[in-house]
Amino acid sequence: MNLAVIEPTTSWYLVLAAVLFGIGTVGVMVRRNPLVMFMCIELMLNAVNLSFVALSASLSDINGQTAVFFVLVVAAAEVVVGLGIIVSIMRRRSDATADDLSVLKG
């Protein structure tokens, strides 16, 4: 079978991005280790990047890629800060999980 015939259309990429996004969401809600939760957030960001790029290719607009560029930069900054926070928290107890931060309990 000639695989080249099955040309992936834009919607395929978008669907993939959607699924990736869903997986990331589930991961945020299910995992308790803060670092892994963060990684799932990164998954979601990547899904968004993918959809940006796919649409930029289909609409012949460079602005989509510019957006991805900036998302990448901001994601990097966000990771830095987030990890800093996690480090501050984890310093006290190395097995702290997201469930321990329940001070806001009404």
Residues 36-65 interacting with other proteins (rule: CB under 8 A) = 36, 38-40, 42-43, 46, 49-50, 53-54, 56-63, 65
- Cα–Cα–Cα angle for 13, 70, 19, nearest 5°? 25
DSSP 21: H
d(CA 99, CA 13): 35
Tokens of 73: 């930069």
Rounded to a whole number of angstroms, the minimum distance from the CB of residue 1 to other proteins is 19
Residue 5 is a binding residue for other proteins (CB under 8 A): no
Rounded to a whole number of angstroms, the minimum distance from the CB of residue 80 to other proteins is 5
Residue 6 is a binding residue for other proteins (CB under 8 A): no
